[in-house]
Amino acid sequence: GEETKGSLTSGFTFSSATEAEKKNQSRRKQELETMQTLYRAAKRRPHSVKSLLLTNVPGLKRLNTFVSDWADYAKALHWRRNTTLLLPAAHMGNTVSALVFQPPSATYGYTRRYFFLVTAMHNRIPAFFIPCDKAEYTVLFSHGNAEDLGMIYDWFREVSRRLQANVMSYDYSGYGISEGEPSEEACFADIEAAFAYLVNVKKISPSKIILYGRSLGSGPTTHLAVKQSSLEQPVAGLILQSPVLSMFRVVFNFRYTLPGDLFCNIDIIEQVRSPVTVIHGTRDEVVPFWHGEGLFEMCPQEWRCKPLWVTDAGHNNIEAYLSTFGDDFFQHLIEFVHVCHVTATIRAAEAAEQKALMTGKTV
């Protein structure tokens, strides 16, 4: 029954498995196996690891650190009977998050254009709301990596005008002038705070809100769409532009989801109960085109709407590419909003009929 401790390498210890440790042993083993898999893949294709950043980061120091980190972990993987390796899970999470999230220097300041929300993680994050007098729907946009609100505001004024919709967007924790550090959990709290503002302050029904996520933003967007579907308060629709199946899959074509992966849209998209459209460039150099195709195929067939595959477009130039050849981008969005409207109308009629039936039974 005595606990035996010893040093494996800096920051690592092992001990005989107590009852408490046995409870978590499987999870820890999975985490370590994940690191082994990533390390082996990184050694085979180290040049591709930079894709995990989802942005062009100057220099290779971060990449070299990534590979050497996995090497250190791999050297520490010594499995023995009746022993368990105690991995600081937070260190693993921080390593992945540091690679995935790349907030730029803030491109805006404290102006009347932005207001602040407080998230469930107690971070203050800025947001903007662009009203449209004739709006029936509101678009809640989650931006991509290496972006902030200052970079997208003018573009979404045009989106609001063309779609005749209100538009709201927000910065992730740690982006722009937000508080906190970026993480998957923080992103989920951020979008939920923005959504709560629309519902509770602006008094907009979830059935009138269209979620729109680009690149990294597809993660929190899909998360919220699934959450609302599970609450039987589905949103009006879901637009996914250059979305990820999951973050690890951006670099490695894994068949299964590994522990520690982030924004695993592939595992939850089938739970969405709202119209979904996917937009992706066929020559996307950051998030491969097959991510968009795969996510589209995983959508429930009854909610799957016409996708927009932009021939020869990359990751960051879909809007600019289409504007050169016509209005296909906005036309696609306008048609999708119409689909959302038809769906909402049918749902409202079904709800009214159900209410009438229930009332009739109680009379």
The identity of residue 162, as a single letter, is R
**Quick one: three-class SS letters along the chain?**
CCCCCEECCCCCEEEECCHHHHHHHHHHHHHHHHHHHHHHHHHHCHHHHHHHHCCCCCCCHHHHHHHHHHHHHHHCCCCCCCEEEECCHHHHHHHHHHHHCCCCCCCCCCCCCCEEEECCCCCEEEEEEECCCCCCCEEEEECCCCCCHHHHHHHHHHHHHHHCCEEEEECCCCCCCCCCCCCHHHHHHHHHHHHHHHHHHCCCCHHHEEEEEEHHHHHHHHHHHHHHHHCCCCCCEEEEECCCCCHHHHHCCCCCCCCCCCCCHHHHHHHCCCCEEEEEECCCCCCCHHHHHHHHHHCCHHHECCCEEECCCCCCCHHHHHHHHCCHHHHHHHHHHHHHHHHHHHHHHHHHHHHHHHHHHHC
Task: Let me know if residue 105 belongs to a domain.
Answer: no
Same domain for 47 and 158, yes or no, is no
Give, in order, the Cα–Cα distances in Å from 61 to each of 47, 55, 68.
13, 15, 10
Using pLDDT thresholds of 50, 70 and 90, give the confidence band for residue 360. confident
Task: Let me know if residue 335 belongs to a domain.
Answer: yes
What's residue 43's pLDDT? 53
Domain of residue 248: give its range: 115-351
Is residue 1 scored above 90 in pLDDT?
no
Is residue 335 scored above 50 in pLDDT?
yes
Lowest-pLDDT range of 22-31, 95-104, 190-199, 298-307: 22-31
What's residue 97's pLDDT? 73
Same domain for 78 and 181, yes or no, is no
Distance CA 173, CA 124 (A): 8
Express each pLDDT in 315-328 by its tens digit: 999 988 877 766 78
Same domain for 158 and 262, yes or no, is yes
Is residue 308 scored above 70 in pLDDT?
yes
Express each pLDDT in 35-90 by its tens digit: 556 556 555 554 444 444 433 333 333 334 444 444 443 344 333 333 333 333 34
Task: Let me know if residue 109 belongs to a domain.
Answer: no
Same domain for 278 and 129, yes or no, is yes
The identity of residue 308, as a single letter, is L
What's residue 105's pLDDT? 95
Same domain for 34 and 142, yes or no, is no
Express each pLDDT in 175-228 by its tens digit: 999 999 999 999 999 999 999 999 999 999 999 999 999 999 999 999 999 999
Task: Let me know if residue 302 belongs to a domain.
Answer: yes
What's the mean pLDDT in 109-131? Answer: 97
Residues identified as active-site: 215, 284, 315
Express each pLDDT in 261-276 by its tens digit: 899 999 999 999 999 9
What's residue 40's pLDDT? 60
